[in-house]
Structure 1
Amino acid sequence: MKWRQWRRAAQGFTIIEILISLLIGSVITVSLGAILIDMIETESREASLNEVRQELQSAMNFIIADLSQATFVYDGNCLQGSGLCANSNGSARTPITSYLPNFGANIRPILAMWILEHLPYDNNPAFVMPTNCPPENATCLRIQNSRRSYTLVVYYLDTNTSSEWQGAARLRRYQLRQYATINGTNITQTPGYVDPTENTNFVAWPLNINTGANLQATSPSNDLSNLPVVADFIDGNWSEVAPTPIACQDEVTNPRIGAYVRTPLETTTPPNSFYGCVLSRGSNFNTATFVYLRANPRGKPAIRPQDEAVRPVLTTTVLSRGVHQKVPSN
């Protein structure tokens, strides 16, 4: 009996037993592989969504930094030359967008403001501040004494489809600074710049407030290199089903507060992924600006069509702290 058992054990496994073992092993391997792949895709998808949220927050931080130091913020009416920015007789002026660079139909100005910057810009060593200005050089003396200059900042929504950018849309920041170069007494002004405090003001810019003449000698450059991308993967297709944007709160019943005016104004196809609501109280008062910004993860690694419904939204309200030509409110 023992001899027979030993002979059977020495013969090894049968073909059927081996096939069954291979089948079971294959099922286990495939199952573990599927679980591992799903875990990797889930981790990659979460990483993509986190990146979108971080980029959205970074973009909002840029906007907050600019709005907090803004001296004047244009509402939607001003972008079209009406409302606060209309002529003294109430007729519409040429829209301010006509004096901004034209980057194409799919790159649309959304939020525009004036900020006061310190000189030299960004502590750039290429700018050598003047020390000995001749009395006849008024520009040199102004830079030497004030060391500040007004800059027009405009945020654009770019919905162009480009292989370089994979998101549905992107947020771009344009700035029109007064000076292109400062090298001691050798100073050149940026083409298209008009000082908003000389013969014009923030409301009428760039028109002469006395004659209505255009003070812009040349148009600003529309070179896209002057329009850096702040964030990609902004939601740009407002015809799709998306979160309902928050409406601008109308406070017109309280004349002391004023009314929030959307920028840009409502149109047949208003961008609802990026817009602002500017508290319009006149140019002599500080203003508050509500900003709505929504992202879209489409194009990020591991993002599935059903994941596009997860569109992060950030909102904020910023009180501008500029004091030029402002009066205290009672």
Structure 2
Amino acid sequence: MKTLLRLLLKSQHQRNRSGPAQIDKGMTLVELLVGAIMAFLIITPMLSFVVDMLNTDRREQVKSNTEQDLQAAVDFIAQDLSQAIYIYDNNPALTITATTTPTGIPAITTQLPSVSNGTPVLVFWKRQQITNAVPINNAITPIKCKEAANKGKCNDTYVLSLVAYYQIKETDPKSIWCQPSGGNCPTRIARYEIRDGVRKPDPVAADTNLPYYNKADTDEDTQQPDPAFNKDFDFTKPTQNVTLAAGLTQATSGATKPQVLVNYIDHSSGPILTPCTTALGNPTNPKTSTAIGEPTLKVTDTEGRNSFYACVDTARNIARVTLRGNSLRRLQANDAEFKTTSSAYFPTATVQVQGFGAVGK
């Protein structure tokens, strides 16, 4: 019994000597506040840096896309122009006189498709190859030339095409061509073509569709002329009989559906670029040996902007085409005007092409 009491007293004495039990404590409110402030001071600059990096990367990507689009557009135009046999300049003469010869777009404007808010900037005639289209003999009709059984029984031929590149200003802020939606919509470039049909080399009196093959015997999409094509067109009078009707609309022109070549072409007042006289080597009129002025050489939109224009020397069948894009308009609706400080976001692409030959060559 005594032993048990001693053990109890000894254990109680040890507990009393060990002091009060340790209690785990959390962070005080002051400590939490200090930690939050420190985290804010560290994380906020990091977040700002990350956001800035993402925005910069996005801008650079959009700028790169715009540059690629412009380069693809000028490459397409260059290939198209390489087949040109006559290119219209901006000669303001409308009628033939003792001192003037109409050679420019102003003399044929009413004969081109009427496009809402659109201006023809580059217009030319080209020679286009139509493969496997003319039967060697009358045993088969052109529509059957592509059949496997008639392989080698038809020849290739060439047809004329009138090609026009328009600069179109979008005015609808909700249009797919004006995104992000808002004011200051960009312009786009669209291509129109009015093509001749395959002409019959051996016409007979019974033919009802001269100088072409009868419609029932041909492929209407590739071998028949577009409704607006004027078979009486003569290169010695390039501004007459260009098409069959005046004031053509897109619906009635018979032109192929417009092919939008590129969008986000700048529509602000950009820098003054190299004059056409300098770019084309100061060309002269071959008849008078006088210098051709800038107003005749340069074809641009009705507002005279430099975002899409052509320098044309009709006599030498040369055209120099320049495009200026607007990368900022892909990102924002407002404050997307050209500025010297943001010129890097307004890339420019230029190409100069001489047609494969002049008329009669």
Q: TM-score with structure 2 length normalisation?
A: 0.67
- C-alpha change, 1:291 and 1:299, in structure 2 (3 Å) is same
The equivalent of 1:123 in structure 2 is none
| CA displacement at 1:70 relative to structure 2 | 0.8
2:192 touches 2:256 (CA, 8 Å); kept in 1? no
Alignment match of 1:153 (pick from 145, 148, 163):
163
- C-alpha change, 1:89 and 1:226, in structure 2 (3 Å) is farther
The equivalent of 1:178 in structure 2 is 196
The equivalent of 2:326 in structure 1 is 296
- State the number of aligned residues: 289
2:127 touches 2:161 (CA, 8 Å); kept in 1? yes
- C-alpha change, 1:185 and 1:45, in structure 2 (3 Å) is closer
Unpaired segments of 5 or more residues in structure 2? 1-17, 146-153, 179-184, 199-212
Q: Does 1:72 align with 2:102?
A: no
| CA displacement at 1:151 relative to structure 2 | 0.8
Q: Does 1:274 align with 2:274?
A: no
What is the CA RMSD across the aligned residues, in angstroms? 3.8
Q: Percent identity between the aligned chains?
A: 25
d(CA) in 2 for partners of 1:303, 1:46: 18
The equivalent of 1:27 in structure 2 is 41
d(CA) in 1 for partners of 2:218, 2:284: 53
1:48 touches 1:303 (CA, 8 Å); kept in 2? no
Within a 5 Å distance, the mapping from 1:251-266 to structure 2 comes to 251-252=282-283, 259=292, 261-264=296-299
d(CA) in 2 for partners of 1:266, 1:158: 9
Within a 5 Å distance, the mapping from 1:5-24 to structure 2 comes to 10-24=24-38
d(CA) in 2 for partners of 1:221, 1:254: 34
Residues 94-121 of structure 1: per-residue CA shift (max 9 Å, x gap): 82111111112x200011011111115x
Residues 260-286 of structure 1: per-residue CA shift (max 9 Å, x gap): 74242797x3232211111242xxxx4
Q: Does 1:228 align with 2:259?
A: yes
Q: Does 1:314 align with 2:349?
A: yes
Alignment match of 2:229 (pick from 193, 205, 219):
193
Aligned AA (1:246): T
d(CA) in 1 for partners of 2:301, 2:331: 34
Partner SS state of residue 330, structure 2: coil
Partner SS state of residue 28, structure 1: helix
d(CA) in 2 for partners of 1:266, 1:90: 27
Partner SS state of residue 243, structure 1: coil
d(CA) in 2 for partners of 1:302, 1:273: 19
Alignment match of 1:115 (pick from 123, 126, 138):
126
- C-alpha change, 1:194 and 1:90, in structure 2 (3 Å) is farther
Aligned AA (2:310): G
- C-alpha change, 1:215 and 1:304, in structure 2 (3 Å) is closer
Q: Which structure has the larger Rg?
A: 2
Aligned AA (2:113): P
Residues 107-159 of structure 1: per-residue CA shift (max 9 Å, x gap): 00011011111115xxxxxxx83537649x99x99xx6552111111111111
Unpaired segments of 5 or more residues in structure 1? 121-127, 208-213
Q: TM-score with structure 1 length normalisation?
A: 0.73
- C-alpha change, 1:133 and 1:21, in structure 2 (3 Å) is same
d(CA) in 2 for partners of 1:39, 1:302: 18
The equivalent of 2:148 in structure 1 is none
Q: Does 1:168 align with 2:155?
A: no
Q: Does 1:131 align with 2:135?
A: yes
Aligned AA (2:319): T
More deviation, 291-300/184-193? 184-193
Q: Does 1:204 align with 2:238?
A: yes
- C-alpha change, 1:89 and 1:103, in structure 2 (3 Å) is same
1:129 touches 1:183 (CA, 8 Å); kept in 2? no
d(CA) in 2 for partners of 1:179, 1:254: 34
| CA displacement at 1:29 relative to structure 2 | 2.6
1:235 touches 1:296 (CA, 8 Å); kept in 2? yes
Aligned AA (2:277): Q
| CA displacement at 1:315 relative to structure 2 | 2.1
More deviation, 86-95/224-233? 86-95
- C-alpha change, 1:132 and 1:315, in structure 2 (3 Å) is closer
Q: Does 1:98 align with 2:110?
A: yes
